[in-house]
Structure 1
């Protein structure tokens, strides 16, 4: 299965209250070197066969992101590739 990852973020000019709340809480945890935090969402779309970036872009544009306040990026994630924690 091929996986396309869609990352949706608020546009830079849009206020991010969640990100601001996290940034304001960091000093209480002893983290003082973070300038700002932005919160977004990650959506994984699995295709049977080859990844269809055009279809994924259409899905993201019409359903997953609000084009007025959000922007998105697409990337193909290789099988077995996962983010490290």
Structure 2
């Protein structure tokens, strides 16, 4: 199964990335995900279910520890690519 996670962390700071946003970026870039898109207002990552779920667990733990007051996320099952 493949999953796509979309997430945001708060509070926002448009002048400088807050520590929890930096941590989120590090988590998704270090995971063995197939696709990652990090932006100022939302982030997406896609990959195998076990990898995405592991990254979500690490993301939540580290972002909250780094000062996030809210983490919003949505997880969707995506179709497998045919070979």
TM range (shorter): 0.3 to 0.5
Larger radius of gyration: 1
Greater share of strand: 2
TM-score by length of 1: 0.39
TM-score by length of 2: 0.39
Greater share of helix: 2
